[in-house]
Amino acid sequence: MLSRRTFLTASLALGTGAALAPVARAGISTPGGRTLLTVTGAIRAGGPTKSVAFDLAMLDDLAQRVAKVRTPWTDGEVEFSGPLGSALLDAVGAEGATLRITALNDYAADVPAADFRAYPVMLATRVSGRPIPVREKGPIFVIYPFDVMPSLYTEATFAKSVWQVKSIDVL
Ligand SMILES: Nc1nc2c(c(=O)[nH]1)N[C@H]1C(S)=C(S)[C@@H](COP(=O)(O)O)O[C@H]1N2
Ligand SMILES: [Mo]
């Protein structure tokens, strides 16, 4: 068994990303990098304040989807990647039926949590492998799986396709 000192040294040698991974799995709401997403509300994680902050490394640690998707907001097929919505719900222990997803411009959409369970909805953090700048609708873009479920390509889904996401309140 490693001594605590040996473990810490090993973690530092592996770098910040590796050192953060166990933090994300433990559900501790202390990101080492800039917070991209805050999840609040009816969640089992997050301590008494019921708030979990995610930086990019913590979002990367969740089960991912990578897909080339056509959207109304992009030209042709674009490769989006990011955590599955279902993985995020599992990570925070979401218990509510509605996700109030709010953007940097304060647009908000109430999305059924069931959507994240029924379809591989992605919280895209990257386009073509690069983090998404705010001016390109980042840092997080809700991407429904239009590639494998074309029947979702409707105005009702577009309204739930929040871009520039900053927070999700589980109601
Ligand atoms: N951040 C953000 N996401 C948003 C919106 C918004 O105003 N801000 N509008 C929503 C609605 S109601 C629809 S129909 C589509 C509209 O996309 P468009 O404005 O590019 O047509 O984006 C959705 N996502
Ligand atoms: Mo809309």
Q: How far is the CA of 71 from the centre of ligand 1 (A)?
A: 12
As a whole number of angstroms, the distance between CA 95 and CA 146 comes to 26
Q: How far is the CA of 107 from the centre of ligand 1 (A)?
A: 8
Task: Please say whether the beta carbons of 137 and 51 come within 8 A.
Answer: no
Q: What is the mean pLDDT of residues 30-45?
A: 94
Tokens of 51: 């708030």
- The fraction of the chain above a pLDDT of 70, given in percent, is 83
Q: In the structure, what pLDDT confidence band is assigned to residue 29 with cuts at 50, 70 and 90?
A: low
As a whole number of angstroms, the distance between CA 17 and CA 115 comes to 30
Q: Which residues pair with 168 in a beta bridge?
A: 39, 101
Please say if the pLDDT value at position 16 is more than 60.
no
User: CB of 73 closer than 6 A to ligand 1?
Assistant: yes
User: CB of 9 closer than 6 A to ligand 1?
Assistant: no
Please say if the pLDDT value at position 40 is more than 70.
yes
Q: What is the pLDDT of residue 26?
A: 46
pTM of the prediction? 0.84
Q: How far is the CA of 167 from the centre of ligand 2 (A)?
A: 19
Place of tokens 């983090």: 131
Handedness of CA 138, 126, 21, 144 (dihedral sign): positive
pLDDT tens sequence across 122-164: 999 999 999 999 999 999 999 999 999 999 999 999 999 999 9
Mutate to test the pocket of ligand 1, among 37, 73, 153, 162 (most ligand atoms within 8 A of CB): 162
pLDDT tens sequence across 88-126: 999 999 999 999 999 999 999 999 999 999 999 999 999
